Structure 1
Amino acid sequence: MKTYGEARSFLEAYGVQGVELSDESGRARVYLVPAWQGRVMTSASTGPEGPGYGWINRSLIASGVRKSRFNPFGGEERLWLGPEGGPFSLYFAPGAEQVYANWQVPAALDTEPFRVVGRDARQVRFEAGMSLRNAAGTCFEVGVTRRVELLSLRQAEAALGHALSPELALVAYRSENRIGNCGPDAWTPEGGAPSVWMLGMFTPSPSTTVFLPCDGENVRAAVNSDYFGTLPDDRLSVSGGLVCLRIDGAFRSKIGLPAGRDTGLCGSYDAVSHHLTLVRCRRSAAGDRYVESRWGAQADPFGGDVVNAYNDGPTETGEVMGPFYEIETSSPAAFLRPGETLCHTQEVFHLQGDEALLEELLRDLVPGGLRAVKEAFNH
């Protein structure tokens, strides 16, 4: 893993200007890029000489080439809108077969900038406007505001509901991502509605496991794992209330948990570097409806997932976009009347240090604790 300082210097050398947030010690840092939708490109818990946690597509950025379908620049937290597939997809044109050759990321979510409208040492605010059309032909005029704040130790502890040892290196930040209906018509189940979709891109490794705690009984049946075909048993582990995905960037796969089964928390752990990532969002509530992002025909376009994890690998054309892996959270579908807004808040925590301290933390947050995550594929 390259250092945060190297990543920042690399981006600036290729003209990618950023906004940096930092605490008083200079150890906790977050680097955001307004030109790429205000995304968090990377962060650090031990200053510029420590590891940078976000995955950055150095070859694409250095090439200066801009791809027509999607530019996977990287970044550990970016804002997209769902759904990806289905009758109300924002990524396929009306009437287009939903296969990779026809998949198209809207420029507003790929290459168009967000405006910086306020900032200080610990927070930055962005705004943008988007005009989008879904596969059903419905047009959306969307206003977007995004605020990212670097959290203090006390704020991080309050968010997790757990004391954190000062011996653990920590960087944590919160993003508030609001979309508004700026058009003349309501967003409805009949015409489709967008959702806020947050995706974090990280560097895969054979020692990394993604985990999604699952609420309720019969957990295996609750997991959606057929996004790209059947998932082999050696890549998906379900034990008790814990769902784990093998992360190596070599096999394209995705899993998710639907409304009512998420806990509002997910994450990943690298057993070699002792690096724990936690992602927290609002837990689904009774009556919430989430957009379905599977490509093609859908039984219920609003029966989608709350949290997802993605492991990169060759697509059906043999192309590899990264490799990287993603941890994703979504808001409920935004059934908004003109002038109304919906806000999706997400918190990201990176902790690194002694495994005993990380185990103490996860014991209260994840079924089976850190041991269950580490042993998910040791069989």
Structure 2
Amino acid sequence: MVSGMRSCSLRVFFTLGTGIALLLVAGMAWAEDGKGKAMSYGEARQYLARHTKIYELLDEHGARVLICPEWQGRVMTSTCDGLHGLSFGFINKDFIDAGKPNPHFNNYGGEDRFWLSPEGGQFSLWFKKGAEQNLDNWFTPPALNEGAWEMISRPRDPFYRMRRRMELVNASGTEFKLEVTRDVRLLTSADLQRLFGDAAQDLTSRKVKLVGYETINRVVNLGEPMQKEKGLVSIWILGMFNAGPKTVVIVPYRPGDEATLGPVVKSDYFGPIPPERLKILPEAILFLADGNYRSKIGTSQKRARNVAGSMDFVHNVLTLVHFTMPEDPTQHLYMNNMWELPQAEPYVGDVANSYNDGPAGPDKPGLGPFYEIESLSPAKELKHGETLEHAHRTVHIQGDYETLKSIAKKVLGVDLDTVRKTMFSE
């Protein structure tokens, strides 16, 4: 069910149009233990093409990005080394093979999916009015959980554009009518220079392989003017990646006195996090991403920077996530995602989050194993016809460890040797 293949260069865009193609990799098969395990992009591509229509972006250096419009417009996975390269996105084979929709969450996986915030509170989109805000009552809004997105880009566009109209109701009874569009495109060398400055030279070094892409997400209000007292929405992008025993999320933060800026990290979403799983360096928060302990962290409007990342020390993969953020987030509204009623400050929320999957309770399985790096846009009182926009970029780099160290230092401000020693005593 492969539907399209679009070719772009990290340095110069060029297009080959779309066409039907299926590249099968000889001798490759899904590993028996499947879910959450390392696999090649070719394996992932072959598997996904059996279950849904897939579209691809690719370049001549081996970068490939796979998109599934029928699964709510997700970017499912990517690689930096062609069909034989490592597949970076979490793919939930158990859920896909079962073929049974889940009203709580259709968890196909995917390393860039579109949601809307807030998740909790009096303006929640996940809980019905008056419902206790716990996992049993948590349901992803059908508009975000079901149905295909329409592919509306032209055959020769160097990106894919998808569209979906949505109707939602929050826990206060406010109705929203929205039109959402999503562009997915490969990042060019000029983009890397603009986003990462001095690190761009390392990113394009022959010592590493790279795949970088962005989603540009837009929400148009088709309904009544939005009002703070009735609840607003913000764009929420979540990237699901394969968890690993020596994978660490790295979140740079704005330093300063807690009396002025508040806590460095919010870590009480699902209860306290054991100290061996969460460490705070002077320059960054370190969060173990092994998929074995359900937990979540966030950085506030006073602490956030517009970049985060992770390091997989087993597969030697550095991931960077960059997103649009106002120069001063404290001057903007950010939705509060805490599961509590009522929220005292529904418009004081995190700018970025990371989630590590794990069992939801005794005898309750987890959703993965995976971890997430997430970003959120500000919320606005959109008038009819007004637009909210948010860009979220994902870059995976694999190769020479010393070059990865240089990139991590320049972009995330950390020394990878220090990260490894702090988290694993190595």
TM-score by length of 1: 0.96
Determine the C-alpha separation between the residues in 2 that align with 1:121 and 1:352: 28
Determine the C-alpha separation between the residues in 2 that align with 1:312 and 1:221: 23
Residue 358 (structure 1) aligns with = 404
Determine the C-alpha separation between the residues in 2 that align with 1:158 and 1:285: 16
Determine the C-alpha separation between the residues in 2 that align with 1:218 and 1:53: 37
1:271 aligns with 2:306: no
Q: 1:363 Cα deviation (Å)?
A: 1.5
The answer (yes or no) to whether the contact 1:309–1:326 under 8 Å persists in 2 is yes
Matches within 5 A, 1:163-182: 163=201, 164=203, 165-182=205-222
The answer (yes or no) to whether the contact 1:310–1:326 under 8 Å persists in 2 is yes
Q: 1:266 Cα deviation (Å)?
A: 0.4
Matches within 5 A, 1:1-379: 1-14=38-51, 16-25=52-61, 27-119=62-154, 120=156, 122-161=158-197, 162=199, 163=201, 164=203, 165-183=205-223, 185-218=224-257, 221-286=263-328, 287-297=331-341, 298-316=343-361, 318-379=364-425
Q: Which 5+ residue runs of structure 1 have no aligned equivalent?
A: none
The answer (yes or no) to whether the contact 1:259–1:284 under 8 Å persists in 2 is no
Q: 1:373 Cα deviation (Å)?
A: 2.6
Determine the C-alpha separation between the residues in 2 that align with 1:198 and 1:345: 9
RMSD: 1.5
Residue 12 (structure 2) aligns with = none
2:134 aligned partner, one-letter code: V
Runs of 4+ in structure 1 deviating by more than 4 angstroms, as ranges, are: none
The answer (yes or no) to whether the contact 2:254–2:305 under 8 Å persists in 1 is yes
Determine the C-alpha separation between the residues in 1 that align with 2:227 and 2:398: 44
Q: Give per-residue Cα distances to partners, 1:33-59, cap 9 Å, x unaligned.
A: 011121100001000111111000011
Aligned pairs, number: 376
SS in 1 for 2:229: coil
Q: Give per-residue Cα distances to partners, 1:144-165, cap 9 Å, x unaligned.
A: 0110111233432332112221
2:50 aligned partner, one-letter code: A
2:75 aligned partner, one-letter code: V
SS in 2 for 1:295: coil
1:344 aligned partner, one-letter code: H
SS in 2 for 1:326: strand
The answer (yes or no) to whether the contact 2:309–2:412 under 8 Å persists in 1 is no
Determine the C-alpha separation between the residues in 2 that align with 1:121 and 1:269: 33
* % identity of equivalent residues: 41
Q: 1:235 Cα deviation (Å)?
A: 1.1
Q: 1:108 Cα deviation (Å)?
A: 1.6
Determine the C-alpha separation between the residues in 2 that align with 1:373 and 1:265: 17
2:191 aligned partner, one-letter code: Q
SS in 2 for 1:357: helix
Q: Give per-residue Cα distances to partners, 1:231-267, cap 9 Å, x unaligned.
A: 1111110010210111111110000001131110001
Q: 1:369 Cα deviation (Å)?
A: 2.8
Determine the C-alpha separation between the residues in 2 that align with 1:217 and 1:371: 24
Q: Give per-residue Cα distances to partners, 1:318-358, cap 9 Å, x unaligned.
A: 13111211100000013211111010011110000111001
- The more displaced of 84-93 and 112-121 is 112-121
The answer (yes or no) to whether the contact 1:136–1:191 under 8 Å persists in 2 is yes
User: Which has the greater radius of gyration?
Assistant: 2
2:251 aligned partner, one-letter code: L
The answer (yes or no) to whether the contact 2:244–2:290 under 8 Å persists in 1 is yes
The answer (yes or no) to whether the contact 1:203–1:325 under 8 Å persists in 2 is yes
TM-score by length of 2: 0.85
Q: Give per-residue Cα distances to partners, 1:218-243, cap 9 Å, x unaligned.
A: 47823110000111111110010210
Determine the C-alpha separation between the residues in 2 that align with 1:273 and 1:24: 23
The answer (yes or no) to whether the contact 1:23–1:122 under 8 Å persists in 2 is no
The answer (yes or no) to whether the contact 2:161–2:183 under 8 Å persists in 1 is yes
Q: Which 5+ residue runs of structure 2 have no aligned equivalent?
A: 1-37
SS in 1 for 2:152: strand
SS in 1 for 2:139: coil
The answer (yes or no) to whether the contact 1:22–1:28 under 8 Å persists in 2 is yes
Determine the C-alpha separation between the residues in 1 that align with 2:301 and 2:147: 32
- The more displaced of 73-82 and 333-342 is 333-342
Q: 1:121 Cα deviation (Å)?
A: 6.9
2:361 aligned partner, one-letter code: E
